[in-house]
Chain A
Amino acid sequence: MNGLQLKTQFELLTKFLKSCSVVNADGTLLYSKDQGPHHLTTTRLVAFQIVKKYLQPQPHDFFVLNDPENGGFQYTKLIFISALQPNLYLIWDEDFDAIDFKIPPTPLYDKGARNEFVWKALIENRSYSSALERFIVAQKAKADALLKMPQLLDLVSSAKNQQDWLKVSQEVFNVLFNTKAQSCGEAYFKLAPTQMIKLKLTVEEKQNVKMFVLDLTNTNLAADFHSASHIFESAAIKKIIDFYGWAEFFNQSILDKIKVILPPRSIVSKPHAEGLHNISIQAIASQLCEHLLTQFNNPSRKTHTMFQYTNFLSFKVQAGTAYYNNLITKQSATLDCVEELANLQKIEVKSMRRLESRSHVLFEVKSNDGIVLTIQNKYDIEGSDIKFKVNGKPQTCGVHKLAKSDSVEISWDF
């Protein structure tokens, strides 16, 4: 098979998944993509290794987990692992916002048969049982749809094709590596006077070995703001892959060229029990990498600038059993909640305008049951164009319970 044919097979296999990785029995990454706002490539690899080590997956087994201290991201992000063939595993993640408990690596299906004991313990006796059951069944259906394509699975799981595919990616890596500058630089993000994430990035070719080294040795030890190492790694790797244009060929051949040095128990290598800071740390990782790569490739090398964190706001709204994810960045705003809640008469929109380069929305809670609003990232009130106020007062990261008649005002530059 030629390079195009191999690439096409992996694209087909992952066609209907937004964020997923394909690995073989050895855990070699064959393909990975992250099309959502969060990046989980190495997170999914960690999840697979845990499942492989402790649960010895067999073909047609199907696992789930969400434990941020054991290969997960956050409770609401479920990671599924499907053993498609002895030499082929698919790992993907999907959000189910109602989940508020830890799921360790759990076998939901054993060789295609539902594990009734686990099913009962996981799904029954919850206020959202039926929605959770539908969600999990839909995820299983994704694996089942692929199992109906044995020809494709045979092609992708063939050891020879996998070797050829890794070689193709290696070649692509070599070609595109040479299109960008080699350099070394540092940037840091200060959380507090004694809390800093410091990244030294080296892009170099030594003795015919092309490498990226992300050295975080000078990052401080964790206090109350920290995440697992795979959280930082996944975001940094994603930025490098996108910057060089390797996304379509991303596999172990390229992953092996990115070395990450993380001091133990530091801000970027100490898992948080609920993964509360993961979104913020991914944003910092991504922005630090982008800053350095842009600096390296800036034609006027003399104009080195200090790293400046670009603020954004990620917040979740819960109204009864419905959840809405909202994100405002410098480039775009996606507010899922406002229109739907207004149509359901849970809120009343008092103002919604987009004038003079600024968007503004003001709504009042109408629902007697109230609304829960959670700001999910470390959001800098002072240094931001984004204003978020509840009853006229600016709000920061955390959970805000809103009662009837409370007002929420959000404004941002567009």
Chain B
Amino acid sequence: MPKPAIALYLGETYASLGIFDLAKGTQQSIQFEKSVFLPQVSLKNLLAQSKLKLHEIYGEAAEPVSVFVVTKYFDRLKQFRLGGSISQVIAKGFENSYSLKDSKLLSLAASQLIVTLENENIDTAFLQGELERVKKINPDLNKVVIALPESKFSAAKVEQIVSFFSAAGLKIFLCGQPHNQSELRKTLLNAGSEGPREEVSKDLMDAFGAKTEIFYFCHNGFKSKFENAELFHSSNNFFAHWLKKNKLNYGAYFDVETFKFLRNRSVPLWESPWGTIPIDNFEQTEFEIHPFAELKLNQLSMLSFDKTSIQLEPGPVVAGRAIKPLVLDLFWKDLQDNEFCTTLFTALSQDNLKSKIQNIFSVLEKGQKSTFLFVSGEELKNQIRVLIHSQIEMLASGENVRLYGPLADTFNNSRHQAKGTFSWPREIMEMAEVQA
């Protein structure tokens, strides 16, 4: 009896999906594989195509299906303040202050949605009044974080408050250690990322039916129950497990949306954009060269790239629509030889896109006024390679490092190399089978 399964990698800008049979064990190949660039093809669209394929392959046995997800999608949230639809029930004196470590960190809660309690002497009428007040501010409010210290509020009172908000139709996120600010931040983050997780899960359920089982890769493998904060490390955790499996201390990962170095060493705290959060994660170093960083002439009229990435949409020129060149576009010739990229960026083979890219670089090169700082696109590309490989050397203390990811081939050199062709669905399938 076949056990149809889906392997899904959901990145910030692209998704790779594969269909396989969980009953077949480890010796099998992916039956269907497709990658899409999300600014151009939606996840829903990819899932709809996969559903058709699933029925084509398995007929009536196509349901129920198990979906194994590895994701980096939640990194999209890292640049935002969260908590716009979350109320916080907090003890008086502790309002709207969830991190003192650095005031420049992003906020996890909206100050207008705070319900402050001075002591236990509150009744349902008070709570009702407060709920109406915050609902008036944000009618879409549907979650509440409750963080009341045991020293001031009895378990019975907290239970009463939980019941009240639960009955009012709000999803409850109860902080187990309200005196611990990092635990409180984790609870707020769990609440703040609930919406995006629900959206992804709903898309999967809508596509493959209500009986679909969804497993996300968290710290110790694929799980159906987890804290949302764990999803921020899904792809890194997966990579770390791959390192463990291959008995490697380090690895460097390359795809169209990130270049990074990962150490096979777990740390208990995550320095998130919202403050320190107590969650196991693996030590990673971004190479400070983001594939989505814009290439432009700087104040010295020198061709250079920004330190940070620009918005994820419309993406690089190689994707077809954009006109601002990104670091990834420097590698356009290499991407033409990469099977994954030719699937993802379907316009890449078109002659008019190639001339468009060449024209953009030609304009940038000619715009450089100073001869002593002149850099051609090709030189800049080589320099990026040198920078990345030198950093790998330093981070790995001279050890050879295995490269991983869909673009690993592009960054091979004589010392640090990829092994075989990379495919996210195949990697996920192998991990899912091992776990099964």
Which residues of A does B touch, CB under 8 Å?
A: 2-5, 8, 11-12, 15-16, 145-146, 148-149, 152, 167-168, 171-172, 175-176, 179, 245, 332-336, 338-339, 342-343, 349-355, 359, 361-362, 414
Is there a chain A Cβ closer than 8 Å to B391's Cβ? yes
Partner of A12, one of B111, B372, B387: B387
Known: A2-B375, A351-B93. 9 other contacts (CB 8 A): A3-B302, A3-B373, A5-B383, A12-B387, A152-B390, A176-B300, A349-B179, A353-B93, A359-B103
Which residues of chain A are near B386, meaning CB under 8 Å? 8
With A179-B299, A351-B93 in contact, is A149–B390 under 8 Å at CB? Answer: yes
- The reply to whether A16 and B394 form a contact with Cβ atoms under 8 Å apart is yes
Q: How many angstroms between the C-alpha atoms of A349 and B181 in the bound complex?
A: 10
- The reply to whether A336 and B390 form a contact with Cβ atoms under 8 Å apart is no
Which residues of B does A touch, CB under 8 Å?
A: 93-97, 99-104, 111, 179-182, 276, 299-300, 302, 304, 370, 372-375, 379-380, 383, 386-387, 390-391, 393-394, 397-398
With A4-B383, A16-B394, A333-B100 in contact, is A176–B299 under 8 Å at CB? Answer: yes
- The reply to whether B104 and A332 form a contact with Cβ atoms under 8 Å apart is yes
With A12-B387, A145-B397 in contact, is A350–B93 under 8 Å at CB? Answer: yes
Which residues of chain B are near A3, meaning CB under 8 Å? 302, 372-375
With A2-B379, A149-B394, A152-B390 in contact, is A355–B95 under 8 Å at CB? Answer: yes
Cβ of A266 to closest chain B Cβ, rounded Å:
36
Q: How many angstroms between the C-alpha atoms of A335 and B100 in the bound complex?
A: 5
Q: How many angstroms between the C-alpha atoms of A4 and B304 in the bound complex?
A: 9
Partner of A353, one of B95, B182, B375: B95
Cβ of B381 to closest chain A Cβ, rounded Å:
11
Which residues of chain A are near B99, meaning CB under 8 Å? 339
Cβ of B136 to closest chain A Cβ, rounded Å:
19
**Closest residue of chain A to B90, judged by CB?**
A353
**Closest residue of chain A to B177, judged by CB?**
A343
Cβ of A53 to closest chain B Cβ, rounded Å:
32
- The reply to whether A148 and B373 form a contact with Cβ atoms under 8 Å apart is no
- The reply to whether B374 and A2 form a contact with Cβ atoms under 8 Å apart is yes
With A5-B383, A15-B394 in contact, is A332–B103 under 8 Å at CB? Answer: yes
Q: How many angstroms between the C-alpha atoms of A3 and B369 in the bound complex?
A: 13
Q: How many angstroms between the C-alpha atoms of A146 and B394 in the bound complex?
A: 8
Identify the 4 closest CB pairs spanning chains A and B, nearest first. Answer: A351-B93, A354-B97, A335-B100, A333-B103
**Closest residue of chain B to A348, judged by CB?**
B179
**How many A-B pairs fall under 8 Å by CB?**
107
With A12-B390, A12-B391, A354-B95 in contact, is A4–B103 under 8 Å at CB? Answer: no
Partner of B373, one of A11, A168, A349, A353: A168
Cβ of B434 to closest chain A Cβ, rounded Å:
36
Which residues of chain B are near A343, meaning CB under 8 Å? 180, 182
Which residues of chain A are near B394, meaning CB under 8 Å? 12, 15-16, 145-146, 149
Cβ of A377 to closest chain B Cβ, rounded Å:
18
Q: How many angstroms between the C-alpha atoms of A213 and B397 in the bound complex?
A: 44
Cβ of A286 to closest chain B Cβ, rounded Å:
19
List 23 A-B pairs, Cβ < 8 Å: A2-B375, A2-B379, A4-B304, A4-B375, A8-B387, A12-B390, A12-B391, A15-B390, A148-B397, A149-B393, A172-B300, A175-B300, A176-B299, A176-B300, A334-B101, A334-B103, A339-B99, A339-B276, A342-B181, A349-B179, A353-B93, A354-B111, A361-B97
With A2-B379, A333-B100 in contact, is A167–B390 under 8 Å at CB? Answer: no
- The reply to whether A336 and B101 form a contact with Cβ atoms under 8 Å apart is yes
Cβ of B391 to closest chain A Cβ, rounded Å:
7
Cβ of A332 to closest chain B Cβ, rounded Å:
5
Cβ of A93 to closest chain B Cβ, rounded Å:
20
Q: How many angstroms between the C-alpha atoms of A175 and B102 in the bound complex?
A: 36
Q: How many angstroms between the C-alpha atoms of A349 and B178 in the bound complex?
A: 12
With A334-B102, A335-B101, A414-B103 in contact, is A4–B391 under 8 Å at CB? Answer: no
Which residues of chain B are near A355, meaning CB under 8 Å? 95-96, 111
- The reply to whether A339 and B100 form a contact with Cβ atoms under 8 Å apart is yes
Q: How many angstroms between the C-alpha atoms of A168 and B372 in the bound complex?
A: 7
Which residues of chain B are near A336, meaning CB under 8 Å? 101
Which residues of chain B are near A354, meaning CB under 8 Å? 95-97, 111
Q: How many angstroms between the C-alpha atoms of A338 and B101 in the bound complex?
A: 8
Cβ of A172 to closest chain B Cβ, rounded Å:
6
Partner of B94, one of A11, A172, A352: A352
Which residues of chain A are near B372, meaning CB under 8 Å? 2-3, 167-168, 171
Partner of A339, one of B95, B111, B182: B182
Q: How many angstroms between the C-alpha atoms of A190 and B379 in the bound complex?
A: 53
Most buried by B among A4, A15, A148, A350: A4
With A3-B302, A335-B100 in contact, is A351–B397 under 8 Å at CB? Answer: no
Q: How many angstroms between the C-alpha atoms of A179 and B299 in the bound complex?
A: 10
Which residues of chain A are near B111, meaning CB under 8 Å? 354-355
Cβ of A183 to closest chain B Cβ, rounded Å:
21
Q: How many angstroms between the C-alpha atoms of A335 and B182 in the bound complex?
A: 14
- The reply to whether A171 and B391 form a contact with Cβ atoms under 8 Å apart is no
With A145-B397, A148-B397, A333-B103 in contact, is A342–B95 under 8 Å at CB? Answer: no
Q: How many angstroms between the C-alpha atoms of A38 and B238 in the bound complex?
A: 40
**Closest residue of chain A to B180, judged by CB?**
A343
- The reply to whether B101 and A4 form a contact with Cβ atoms under 8 Å apart is no
Q: How many angstroms between the C-alpha atoms of A245 and B300 in the bound complex?
A: 10
**Closest residue of chain B to A5, judged by CB?**
B383
- The reply to whether A332 and B179 form a contact with Cβ atoms under 8 Å apart is no
Q: How many angstroms between the C-alpha atoms of A353 and B300 in the bound complex?
A: 45
Which residues of chain A are near B379, meaning CB under 8 Å? 2, 4-5
With A332-B103, A353-B94 in contact, is A148–B374 under 8 Å at CB? Answer: no
With A16-B394, A148-B397 in contact, is A359–B300 under 8 Å at CB? Answer: no
Q: How many angstroms between the C-alpha atoms of A342 and B177 in the bound complex?
A: 12
- The reply to whether A359 and B97 form a contact with Cβ atoms under 8 Å apart is yes
Cβ of A322 to closest chain B Cβ, rounded Å:
15
Which residues of chain B are near A15, meaning CB under 8 Å? 390-391, 394
Q: How many angstroms between the C-alpha atoms of A166 and B298 in the bound complex?
A: 20
Which residues of chain B are near A149, meaning CB under 8 Å? 390, 393-394
Which residues of chain B are near A171, meaning CB under 8 Å? 370, 372-373
With A149-B393, A355-B111 in contact, is A338–B100 under 8 Å at CB? Answer: yes
Which residues of chain A are near B102, meaning CB under 8 Å? 332-334
- The reply to whether A175 and B370 form a contact with Cβ atoms under 8 Å apart is yes
- The reply to whether A361 and B100 form a contact with Cβ atoms under 8 Å apart is yes
Which residues of chain B are near A351, meaning CB under 8 Å? 93-94
With A4-B375, A176-B299 in contact, is A353–B383 under 8 Å at CB? Answer: no
- The reply to whether A352 and B100 form a contact with Cβ atoms under 8 Å apart is yes
Which residues of chain B are near A245, meaning CB under 8 Å? 299
Q: How many angstroms between the C-alpha atoms of A307 and B280 in the bound complex?
A: 49
Q: How many angstroms between the C-alpha atoms of A2 and B372 in the bound complex?
A: 7
- The reply to whether B93 and A352 form a contact with Cβ atoms under 8 Å apart is yes
Which residues of chain A are near B375, meaning CB under 8 Å? 2-4
Q: How many angstroms between the C-alpha atoms of A8 and B381 in the bound complex?
A: 13
Cβ of A243 to closest chain B Cβ, rounded Å:
13
**Closest residue of chain B to A175, judged by CB?**
B300
Q: How many angstroms between the C-alpha atoms of A167 and B397 in the bound complex?
A: 33
Q: How many angstroms between the C-alpha atoms of A179 and B300 in the bound complex?
A: 10
**Closest residue of chain A to B393, judged by CB?**
A149
Which residues of chain A are near B373, meaning CB under 8 Å? 2-4, 168, 171-172
Cβ of A352 to closest chain B Cβ, rounded Å:
5
